[in-house]
């Protein structure tokens, strides 16, 4: 019992840290519908798995050499497990200095990121804090101003994007560096009603722009999960956010050196769903449910959708096939006609980069009418965003397979996989396959204008030409020329892809994995 | 009052409701043809159709009000 007094002091100091910002502030925080930071962590991770680091950090006041007051650091972090796998988890304590960075003693945030990088485990950030260098109050405390930035967060955050999965949740009003910590991630989720993300909050907006806007209208879930795409997903509650984080991580390896984890297969790889034979309408202008289509191909109940409400013409799903994680891309004919627009391109780029960074094979379910057209699409820079998405495809080197379920038109249609001679990708089509540089209906007038205009009955002539060309439209003619590997019975899609995914993981297992030349950008 | 707006440009292919009709959430209100695709525009809420500022065959811009609902 030589060191018993110190052990007692250790307990005493820990209990001071557990009091967070004090009873009153904690009560107010809970009344606002939010969990305290340690309760958040405990709810998220496996029971009894959280091993906190840096609990003793804080700002102490001494009287006669004795500790009289203690304000804990407002960043709580440590190592824990999620479904038995190690993660680094940390969160802001809003009850101390509103979670502002000036209450973060000794930069625990960067310490957490560095630790995760060394241990090669995922980083989870539960963000509920404001302002970069803290508030303007810091100036008074340190007696000077300072240049923003400096060593610390940015280089570790950037390195993490290349090496370990980074997940962020916006769980309060998150501004400045807090907003950046949400955005620079592989997956982010915002809690509806209590989470807001902005570069600066309403008072700063009022001062700088002369307008007052409520925080929810400035940066709530509606803005960022449905408009800007800053956050991938929205959560109904904090618990829902934790469930989504757990589910996202379940498809990912711990780092970019490892293979994604295979689950025990729960479904027959040979399953042939009859529904697939009728899911694509014969009438080309009729849409269908691409999520349903995907669900008939991948393992039962294995889909986790990312970015459902942003860039809606592109659907991005993490799923499993014969237990193996796969990244499924699709086009949604119910949104923007399925065409590739600027938000859709941004979403596609991020998803491909995610799969490429963490060695997840990609399945592309193609029904691409082409880039979005029109004035608004041009103003939004569709071709620039589109070529960036195509670059992502050509830079990506994970196994890739393409199923052309219907249309593949134009430059966007060409971007359904890497076509370089240096690569083979598994590519087949369904009998509903329909492709070309320009759809016949729109292209006839451009290509046969003279012929049509010279005719006595131009409309009849146009129809004749269209009918003649439509006879050549059958995908079987393309297969005759071996321009596509095969046309398959849609019901065969799952058995064929199950076989492919087993091969793909064998290829990955014998490949040199690890970070790519430069990490993905958020 | 809920405005149902066109989220992308297109041509009004079919109007499935009339002023005064009661609609439920997710009912098909209008079929908009964009990029050669007939896209149903669903009701975001339950309510009564109070205004229909569009005609069949009309081109609408992104953001144009298609249907106004009292909900």
Q: Tens digit of pLDDT for each residue in B12-54?
A: 999 999 999 999 999 999 999 999 999 999 999 999 999 999 9
Q: How far is A407 from chain B (nearest CA, A)?
A: 11
Asked, for residue A436, whether it belongs to a domain, the answer is no
Task: Tell whether A241 and A279 lie within a shared domain.
Answer: no
d(CA A452, CA A439): 17
**pLDDT score at B45:** 94
Q: Does B62 touch chain A (CB under 8 A)?
A: yes
Planar angle of CA A416, A515, A76, nearest 5 degrees: 110
- The DSSP code for A381 is T
For chain B, what is the radius of gyration of the CA atoms?
A: 11
Q: How far is B29 from chain A (nearest CA, A)?
A: 14
Residue A91, H or E segment:
strand A85-92
Q: How far is B13 from chain A (nearest CA, A)?
A: 11
Residue of B nearest to A339 (CA): B35
Instruction: Please give the distance of CA A271 from its chain centroid, rounded to a whole number.
Output: 29
Calculated CA dihedral for residues A179, A184, A190, A194, nearest 10 degrees: -20
Asked, for residue A20, whether it belongs to a domain, the answer is no
Domain total in chain A: 2
Task: Tell whether A40 and A86 lie within a shared domain.
Answer: yes
Q: How far is A371 from chain B (nearest CA, A)?
A: 9
Q: If phi over 0 gives left and psi between -120 and 50 gives alpha, with beta otherwise, what is residue A193? A: left
The two three-digit tokens of residue A446, written as one number:
């451009």
**N-term to C-term CA, chain B:** 6
Residue B33: list chain A partners with CB under 8 A: 285
CB spacing of A335 vs B61 below 8 angstroms: no
Task: Tell whether A380 and A305 lie within a shared domain.
Answer: yes
Q: Does A373 touch chain B (CB under 8 A)?
A: yes
Residue of B nearest to A374 (CA): B9
**pLDDT score at A134:** 56
Q: Does A338 touch chain B (CB under 8 A)?
A: yes
The two three-digit tokens of residue A477, written as one number:
């003619």
Asked, for residue A168, whether it belongs to a domain, the answer is yes
3-state DSSP helix/strand/coil % of chain A, to nearest 5:
40, 20, 40
Cβ–Cβ under 8 Å, residues A405 and A366: yes
Give the count of beta carbons closer than 10 Å to the beta carbon of residue B25.
11
Per-position b or e across A101-128, b if 16+ CB within 10 A of its CB: bbbbbebbbbbbbbbbbeeebbbbbbbb
Give the count of beta carbons closer than 10 Å to the beta carbon of residue A206.
12
Q: Does B18 touch chain A (CB under 8 A)?
A: no
pLDDT digits (tens, 9 = 90+) for A108-158: 999 999 999 999 999 999 999 876 555 677 788 788 888 877 678 889 999
Q: Does B11 touch chain A (CB under 8 A)?
A: no
Extract long-range pairs of A315-320: CB within 8 Å, 24+ residues apart: A315/A290, A315/A291, A316/A347, A316/A348, A316/A351, A317/A291, A318/A248, A318/A251, A318/A360, A319/A251, A319/A294, A320/A251, A320/A263, A320/A265
What CATH number corresponds to the domain at position A218? 3.90.226.10
Q: ipTM of this complex > 0.90?
A: yes
CB spacing of A439 vs B7 below 8 angstroms: no
What CATH number corresponds to the domain at position B48? 2.40.50.100
Nearest residue to A378 via CA among A352, A342, A335:
A342
Residue A501, H or E segment:
helix A493-509
CB spacing of B37 vs A441 below 8 angstroms: no
d(CA A356, CA A9): 49
What is the residue whose two structure tokens read 């906190």?
A: A52
The residue out of A191, A215, A250 marking a domain boundary is A250
Task: Tell whether A89 and A219 lie within a shared domain.
Answer: yes
**pLDDT score at A133:** 53
Query: Please, which residues 24-53 of chain B have a Cβ atom closer than 8 Å to chain A?
Result: 33-40
Instruction: Please give the distance of CA A298 from its chain centroid, rounded to a whole number.
Output: 20
Task: Tell whether A86 and A199 lie within a shared domain.
Answer: yes
| Helix axes of A108-119 and A153-163: crossing angle, nearest 10 degrees | 30
Asked, for residue A258, whether it belongs to a domain, the answer is no
Could you list the residue range(s) of the whole structural domain that residue A205 is in? 35-54+74-250
CB spacing of B36 vs A376 below 8 angstroms: no
Cβ–Cβ under 8 Å, residues A406 and A367: yes
CB spacing of B35 vs A374 below 8 angstroms: no
Asked, for residue A319, whether it belongs to a domain, the answer is yes
Q: How many pairs of residues across A and B have Cβ atoms under 8 Å apart?
A: 48
* From B35, B40, B62, residue closest to A337, measured CB to CB: B35
Calculated CA dihedral for residues B17, B18, B23, B26, nearest 10 degrees: 30
Task: Tell whether A39 and A112 lie within a shared domain.
Answer: yes
Chain A interface test: which of B9, B37, B59, B61 (most A C-beta within 10 Å): B37
Task: Tell whether A220 and A280 lie within a shared domain.
Answer: no
Task: Tell whether A347 and A425 lie within a shared domain.
Answer: yes
Task: Tell whether A144 and A40 lie within a shared domain.
Answer: yes
Q: How far is B37 from chain A (nearest CA, A)?
A: 4
Domain total in chain B: 1
**Three-class SS state of A396:** coil
CB spacing of B36 vs A338 below 8 angstroms: no
Nearest residue to A313 via CA among A346, A359, A272, A286:
A346
Asked, for residue A481, whether it belongs to a domain, the answer is no
Calculated CA dihedral for residues A142, A144, A149, A150, nearest 10 degrees: -70
Main-chain dihedrals φ then ψ at residue B10, nearest 5 degrees: 170, -170
Could you list the residue range(s) of the whole structural domain that residue B29 is in? 2-70
Name the stretches of chain A with pLDDT < 50.
none
Q: Does B1 touch chain A (CB under 8 A)?
A: no
Asked, for residue A241, whether it belongs to a domain, the answer is yes
CB spacing of A336 vs B38 below 8 angstroms: no
Nearest residue to A313 via CA among A285, A350, A345, A351:
A345
Give the β-pairing of A75-82 and A51-53.
Answer: antiparallel
CB spacing of B39 vs A287 below 8 angstroms: yes
* From B33, B36, B40, residue closest to A369, measured CB to CB: B36
The two three-digit tokens of residue A37, written as one number:
């930071």
């Amino acid at each position: 019992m030589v060191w018993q007094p110190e052990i007692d002091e250790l307990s005493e100091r820990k209990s001071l840290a557990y009091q967070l910002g004090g009873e009153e502030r904690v009560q107010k925080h809970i009344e606002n519908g939010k969990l305290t930071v340690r309760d958040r962590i405990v709810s998220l991770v496996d029971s009894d798995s959280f091993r906190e680091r840096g609990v003793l950090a804080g700002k102490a006041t001494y009287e006669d050499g004795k500790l009289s007051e203690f304000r804990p650091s407002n960043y709580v972090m440590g190592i824990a497990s999620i479904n038995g796998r190690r993660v680094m988890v940390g969160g802001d304590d809003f009850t101390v200095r509103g979670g502002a960075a000036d209450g973060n003693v000794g930069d625990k945030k960067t310490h957490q990121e560095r630790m995760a990088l060394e241990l090669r485990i995922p980083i989870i950030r539960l963000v509920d804090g404001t302002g970069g260098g803290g508030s303007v109050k810091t100036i008074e405390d340190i007696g000077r101003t300072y240049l923003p930035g400096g060593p610390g967060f940015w280089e570790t955050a950037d390195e993490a994007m290349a090496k370990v999965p980074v997940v962020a949740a916006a769980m309060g009003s998150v501004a400045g560096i807090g907003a950046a910590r949400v955005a620079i991630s592989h997956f982010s989720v915002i809690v509806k009603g209590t989470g807001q993300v902005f570069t600066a909050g309403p008072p700063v907006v009022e001062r700088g722009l002369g307008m007052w806007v409520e925080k929810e209208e400035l940066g709530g879930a509606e803005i960022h999960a449905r408009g800007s795409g800053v956050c991938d997903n929205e959560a109904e509650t904090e618990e829902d956010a934790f469930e989504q984080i757990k589910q996202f991580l379940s498809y990912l390896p711990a780092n970019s050196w490892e293979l994604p984890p295979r689950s025990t297969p729960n479904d027959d790889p040979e399953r042939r769903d009859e529904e697939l034979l009728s899911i694509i309408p014969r009438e080309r202008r009729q849409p269908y449910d691409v999520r349903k289509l995907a669900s008939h191909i991948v393992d039962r109940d294995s889909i986790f959708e990312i970015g459902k409400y942003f860039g809606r013409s592109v659907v991005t799903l993490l799923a499993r096939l014969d237990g193996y994680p796969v990244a499924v891309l699709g086009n949604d004919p119910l949104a923007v006609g399925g065409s590739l627009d600027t938000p859709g391109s941004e979403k596609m780029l991020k998803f491909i980069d995610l799969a490429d960074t963490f060695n997840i094979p990609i399945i592309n379910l193609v029904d691409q009418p082409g880039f979005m057209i029109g004035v608004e699409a041009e103003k939004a820079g569709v071709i620039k965003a589109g070529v960036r998405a195509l670059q992502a495809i050509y830079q990506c080197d994970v196994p890739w397979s393409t199923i052309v379920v219907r249309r593949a038109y134009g430059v966007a249609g060409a971007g359904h996989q890497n076509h370089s001679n240096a690569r083979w990708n598994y590519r087949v089509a369904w009998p509903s396959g329909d492709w070309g540089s320009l759809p016949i209906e729109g292209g006839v007038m451009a290509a046969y204008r003279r012929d049509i205009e010279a005719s006595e009955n131009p409309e009849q002539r146009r129809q004749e030409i269209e009918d003649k060309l439509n006879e050549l439209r059958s995908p079987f003619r393309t297969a005759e020329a071996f321009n596509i590997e095969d046309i398959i019975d849609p019901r065969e899609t799952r058995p064929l892809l199950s076989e492919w995914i087993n091969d793909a993981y064998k290829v990955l297992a014998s490949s040199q994995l690890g970070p790519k030349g430069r990490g993905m950008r958020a | 009052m809920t405005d149902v707006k066109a989220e992308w440009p297109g041509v009004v292919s079919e109007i499935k409701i009339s002023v005064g009709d009661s609609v439920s959430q997710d009912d098909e209100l209008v079929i908009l043809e964009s990029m050669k695709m007939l896209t149903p525009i669903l009701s975001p809420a339950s309510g009564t159709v109070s205004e229909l500022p569009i005609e069949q065959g009309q081109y609408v811009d992104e953001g144009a009000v298609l249907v106004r609902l009292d909900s």
